[in-house]
């Protein structure tokens, strides 16, 4: 299965970018008062499809890569941020009106941290260079 690594990784990366972009778009729609568009069936189901593809690709990568790749804890750090991103994202789209902007910003920060951790393959993400890791 390792021969499919490059293809699966590409699907995962494209899904990450698509998922984050769609979330940002939907979050901005909510911020400008178009929550009805953001929560309409088409973007909602598109989000489900993209996130399902993302999860499937992530699980495939997890099963085909050797365990030493994950030895330094970067995957654990990324997975720990996932429920934070999902929870804040849900509140940004459907939560109390006064908190939506803060939740959107928090969700985007969590997404950015997960992305940086994945790129660096280090639990500190881009801070690893500053910490001397």
Number of domains in the chain: 1
pLDDT at 14: 98
The answer to the question of residue 74 being in a domain is yes
CA distance 53 to 61: 12
CA distance 56 to 120: 22
The answer to the question of residue 133 being in a domain is no
Q: Using CA atoms in the order 42, 114, 107, 22, what is the torsion angle rounded to 10 degrees?
A: -20
Checking if the pLDDT of 133 tops 60, the result is no
pLDDT in tens, 65-124: 888 877 778 889 999 999 999 999 999 999 878 899 999 999 999 999 999 999 988 898
The answer to the question of residue 29 being in a domain is yes
Closest CA to 55 of 91, 88, 16: 16
- Which domain range does residue 54 map to? 2-121
The answer to the question of residue 62 being in a domain is yes
């Amino acid at each position: 299965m390792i021969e499919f690594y490059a293809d699966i990784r590409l699907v995962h990366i494209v899904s990450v970018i698509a998922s984050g972009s769609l979330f940002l778009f939907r979050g901005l729609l909510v911020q400008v008062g178009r929550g009805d568009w953001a929560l309409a069936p088409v973007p909602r189901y598109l989000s489900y499809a993209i996130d399902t593809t993302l999860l499937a690709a992530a699980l495939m990568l997890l099963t085909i890569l050797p365990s030493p790749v994950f030895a330094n804890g970067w995957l654990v750090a990324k997975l720990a941020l996932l429920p934070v991103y999902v929870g804040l994202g849900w509140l940004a789209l459907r939560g109390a009106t006064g908190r939506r902007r803060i939740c959107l910003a928090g969700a985007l920060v969590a997404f950015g941290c997960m992305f940086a951790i994945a790129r660096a393959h280090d639990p500190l993400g881009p801070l690893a260079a500053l910490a001397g890791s």
